[in-house]
Structure 1
Amino acid sequence: MDFAPPRAREHEILEVPVYHLHDPSLPLVDIFVQVRGGVSHFPREDGPALTALSSLIRNGGTRTLPPDSVDARLDLLALQLSVGSGGGGAFAALNSLTGTLDPALELLQEMLLRPGFDPEAIEVWRGQELERIRRREDDPGSLAYGEFNRLMFGDHPVGWVFTEADVAASPEGQETGRAEASSGEADPLARARLERLHGRIYCRENLIVGVAGDLSWEDAEPLMEAFLREWPPCPEPLATPPTPELRRAGGVFILPREVDQTTVILAGPGGLRQEDSPEFFASRIADFILGSGGFTSRVFSRVRTERGIAYGASSLWTTPVRYEGLVGVVTATRPERAVEAVELIHEILEDFRSAPPRDDEVALALEQIVNGYVFAFESASQIVGRRMGDRAQGLADEWLERYLEGIQTVTPERILEVSRRYIQPGEMTLLLVGDAARFGPGLEAFGPVYRLFTDGSYEPWEAGEDPGS
C-alpha cells in the first residue's frame, strides 16, 4: 500500500522545533506544547509531585489569576485545554477559534510558565490520590498490572508503586532528611518542590511546539516567536532516564484475593525496542496474530472460543524506544480454571514458536494494521501530534512512512524467527491475583511458587502448603 499523508513542516524558532500544518477548512487552530521531563528523569521521592504537576498547572491557577478566574477566562474565549503527563514528559493541547488565538496564547503562556500552585488545589489532588491509593486493592486487574510491573522492573519508574506515605502531608522536617527540611520540601507536595520541578522541566531546551489548523506559517511565525520568547533556558540538563534490569528468574507469584475472577499474567522480557529493524516490524505482526488482534487471534480463539475458559484474553509485546519491553499473555478466569488457563497459554505460546503462521493470518494482520494506520492521519492535528511524538522519542522524521513500509515486508518465516528467539514461555514470570484456595493443583510445574504481598515483598510457599492456605 502506498500512502503519503500530508507532512507537517518543521521550523525552528529560538532553537525550539515548531511543527506546522495549515488547514483552513474550519476557523480553528490547535496549539500543542510538549516538554521533556517526567518521573523517569527524577528520583522516586519526586514522583508524587511530578504526577501532580500537570493537574496543578491546569487546576491550580496562575500567579495573577486564581483557579476560578482561569476557568472563567477559558470559557469566555471558548477554549478547550488539556494538560497531561507521562513517564518521559508532559503536554498541553489548546483548541481556539482563529479570531481569539492571541489572548488564548497569552493565557496558555501564563498557565505553563507561571503556575499558581493554589494550596486548595494541591490538597484536592492529594485527597484524590490518597483515595485512589486506598482503593487500589479493590480492582484486582489494576492491582495485578501494578504488581507485575513492580516484579519485572523493580526499582525503576515503571515499577514504582506509590503508597499513602509517599503522598500524605508531612510536618516540616518529620520523617524526612535534613536537606529536604531545610529546602522547604519536607511535604512531598511542598510548593518549593513543585516550583523546583516545574523550573527544571518547563524551559526552552525541553520544548517542542506544534501548530495545526486555520493559520498560515506567515501568521503563525510571529505568534510563536512571541510565545516562546518568555520561556527561560533550562538551568541544567535533565538526568538520563535509567535503563531497567528486567526480571529473568521466572517463578510463580500468587497474590491471594477472595474474588470470583483470577487475573492471570504470564510474561517475560520482550527483547526488542521500537526501531527501524526487521525484527521490530515482525514483532508487530506476530503480536497481532498471537493475541492483540482480537477475535481472530490465536490466544482469544483458543482461550475463549474453543475452551470457554475466559471472556477475554490477549497478548502483549511492548517495545519502548530506549529499552526492551515485555512479551506475554493476559487473561482473567474463574479460580477453579486458573491452572487450566495457564497450561493452555503455555501450549499456545509453544505452538506459536514451533511453526510459521499461515499466509492468511499474516495477510489479515497486515490489512488491519495498514488500514488502521491511515486513520491516524485524518486531521492536521493528528499529523502534527504524531510528528511531535516521534521527535520527542528520538525517532527519525520519516518514521511514520518507514513504519508503513517496514510492516509490509514481514514474512511468515521472519515471524517464526523472531518468535523463537524472544518468546520463551519456560522463562516467563507468572502472576495470579485471585482466590488461591480455589486453585487446582499443578502451579509448581511452572516454577518455584511464592506468596506475593502488596508491598512488593514475597516469600516461598512452605513445603506441602496448599496455595490457598
Structure 2
Amino acid sequence: MTFPPLQVAIPRVGREVERRALANGIILYLAEDHSLPVLDVTVVIRAGSLYETPARPGVAQFTASQLRNGGTTRLPAAALNEELEVLGASLEASVSTEAISLTLNALAKDADQALQLFAEVIRHSAFDPNPLQTTKGRVIEDLRRLADSPSQLLAREFTRKLYTEAHPLGRPLTPAQVEAVQPDDLRAHYRRFFHPNNMLLAIVGDFSREEMAAKIQALLGDWPPDPVDLPPVPEVRPHFERAVYIIPKSLAQASLALGHFGINRFNPDRYAIELMDFILGGSGFSSRIMERVRSEEGLAYSVGTNFPTGSRDLSLFRATAQTKNENVPRAVAAILEEMSRIQRQPVSQEELDRAKEAIINSFVFRFTSRFGTVVQLLTLEFNGYPLDYFETLLDRYRAITVADIQRVATQYLRPD
C-alpha cells in the first residue's frame, strides 16, 4: 500500500503571519488566533552565554532569571508577582548559548495590563540583590548535586574536554564563579544587550493585528536604539585524536560517551547527516547500534547516537551507552564497528525510506500550535535562515540518496 507524499500547511510570513520592523529596530511578528481568548508573547534578545565576558561566566543565566525575580524600577519583585497573579498571567525567562528569551501568557481581555508589565520588565529591570542570592544558592546546590548524576557529569566532562577552556562551551560554571556574580554584573549585561535593535518579538492571540501593532508601538516605539557591541566568539578549532578519559566512581554500571566534532547549522550536508544518524543510532530501538549493542549482544539497555545539526558553532557527535563495567570494551568496540560499517557498506533503500518517513512525519507535529509556529518563524530569522526555509525543507530530505548517506558517513564520522 502506498500513500501520496505528506503535505504540510505551514503559515507563511506575509500571509497568515505578518512581519513588521519598527523604526527603532524591533522586529515584530504578528499572527491572529481566535480559537481561544488568550495572548502569547515572546521576545528573543541576542544576549546568551556565548556573549559573556570571560571574567564573569554565568552572567547571562542570572540576568535571565532575575528579569522577573529582580523586579522593575517601578515594581519590586513582590508587587510585580502580585500583579501577574491577579491577572492569572505567567511571565517566564530562559537562556541559551545565543539568546535570552522572555515569554508572556495572559488572557486576551487583560492584554493592556499584561503587555504593560511585559514592557516594564524588558525596559526597566531593577535586579534586586536579594532574589539573586536565593537563585545563586539554588544553582550552587544543583552544581554540587551534578557529581551524583553520572549522565549529567559525563555530558559536562565530554563537552569540556573537546571544546577546552579556549571556547565558552568548554568552561562549565563552578560554585566559586556563581558566588562571584553580583547585581551590577547583571545590570552591565542588560545595558549592553537589551536594546530594541537587538530583539525580535512575536505575538499570537485573540486580537486584531493593527490594534496590537499600535499597542506595541505605544509601549516600545519610543525606546531609542543603541549600537550593539556583540563580542567576537572564539572560533571552535576541531581536533581529532584518540584519547580515553575516566571519571572514577564506585558504581556497578558505567556510563560512556565517545565522539568527536561535528558540523554547524549552515552546513549543506545537515539533512543527509540527520538521516544517517537516524539509521545509525538516533532512532531508538530501530537503529543499527541499538539492534547490535542491546538486542544482539545484550551489552546495554540504553545506547544511541546524537549528531546535532542546528548549532551556531561546530557541534559534538556522540554515542552514549550505559553498561556493566566489565562490558565497556565490548560495547565501545561494537559502536565503533557500526560506525565503520555505515561508511563501508551502503544502507538499504528500505532503511533510508524509513528514516525519511519518520523525520518527515514528525514535521507535522512541529506546527500544531500557532504560537509555536510563529516562534519557529522568528527563530529562522534569528538564526540567519531565509523566511521560506520551512517551505522547501521536506524536499531537501526527500532528495537524499543512499549514496549521500555513505558519503556523509565517510566524511563526518571518525571511528578511527
Q: TM-score, normalised by structure 1?
A: 0.83
Query: For residue 27 of structure 1, what is the aligned residue in structure 2?
Result: 37
- Relative to structure 1, is the Cα distance of residues 230 and 250 closer, same or farther in structure 2, using a 3 angstrom cutoff? farther
Contact 2:256 2:321 in 1 (8 A): yes
2:144 maps to 1:134: yes
Three-state SS of the structure 1 residue aligned to 2:55 is helix
Counterpart secondary structure, 1:165: helix
Alignment of 1:24-423 (within 5 A): 24-155=34-165, 156-168=167-179, 188-270=180-262, 272-275=263-266, 277=268, 279-423=269-413
Shift of 1:322: 3.4
Matched, 1:9 2:18: yes
Q: Where does the alignment leave 5 or more consecutive residues of structure 2 unmatched? A: 1-5
Measured in 2, the distance between the counterparts of 1:243 and 1:399 equals 26
Alignment partners' CA distance in 2, 1:276 and 1:45: 32
Quote the offset at 1:276 in angstroms: 6.8
**SS of structure 1 residue aligned to 2:57:** helix
Give per-residue Cα distances to partners, 1:1-49, cap 9 Å, x unaligned: 3323122221112232111111111111111111011211122222222
Structure 1 SS opposite 2:104:
strand
Q: Aligned equivalents of 1:137 and 1:396: distance in 2? A: 42
Cα distance in 1 for partners of 2:369, 2:141 equals: 38
SS state at 1:251 partner? coil
Q: Is the 8 A contact 1:112 1:202 kept in 2?
A: yes
CA distance in 2, matches of 1:374, 1:190: 45
- Asked if the contact 1:276–1:402 (Cα under 8 Å) also holds between the matched residues in 2, the reply is no
Aligned residue identity for 1:194: L
Secondary structure, counterpart of 1:322 in structure 2: coil
2:147 aligns to what SS in structure 1?
A: helix
Give the aligned residue type for 2:172: V
Q: Aligned pair in 2 of structure 1 residues 87, 322: CA closer, same or farther (>3 Å)?
A: closer
C-alpha deviation, 1:131, in angstroms: 1.0
Contact 1:319 1:326 in 2 (8 A): no
C-alpha separation in 2, matches of 1:217 and 1:20? 6
Q: 1:255 to 1:247 in 2, by over 3 A?
A: farther
- Equivalent pair of 1:13/1:224 in contact (CA under 8 Å): no
Paired-residue identity, %: 29
Q: Which runs of 5+ in 1 are unaligned?
A: 169-187, 427-469
Q: Deviations over 1:29-75 (max 9, x none)?
A: 11111101121112222222221111111212222222221111111
> What displacement does 1:84 show?
0.5
Say if 1:16 and 1:204, in contact at 8 Å, map to a contact too: yes
Structure 2 counterpart of 1:263, which letter? S
In 1: Cα distance, 2:61 partner to 2:406 partner: 40
Contact 2:302-2:321 at 8 Å conserved across structures: yes
Cα offset, 1:321, TM superposition: 4.5
Q: Secondary structure at the match of 1:147?
A: helix
Stretches (4+) displaced over 6 A: none
Q: Which amino acid aligns with 1:323?
A: D
Aligned to 1:444: none
State the Cα RMSD in Å: 1.5
| Alpha-carbon distance in 1 for matches of 2:293, 2:255 | 14
Residues 87 and 157 in structure 1, CA contact (< 8 A), matched pair in contact too:
no
Matched AA of 1:252: V
Deviations 1:332-388 (A, max 9, x none): 111111111111111111111111111111111111111111111112101111011
Aligned counterparts of 1:2 and 1:410: Cα–Cα separation in 2: 18
In structure 2, what residue type is equivalent to 1:231? W
Q: Distance in 2 between matches of 1:349 and 1:72?
A: 56
Query: In structure 1, the residue corresponding to 2:247 is in which secondary structure?
Result: strand
Q: TM-score, normalised by structure 2?
A: 0.94
Change (3 A) 1:197 1:230: farther
User: After superposition, what is the alpha-carbon deviation per residue over 1:251-291, rounded to whole angstroms, capped at 9, x for unaligned?
Assistant: 11111111122111110122x322372x2210010111111
Q: 1:391 corresponds to which letter in structure 2?
A: E
CA distance in 1, matches of 2:144, 2:313: 32
**Secondary structure of residue in 1 paired with 2:266:** coil
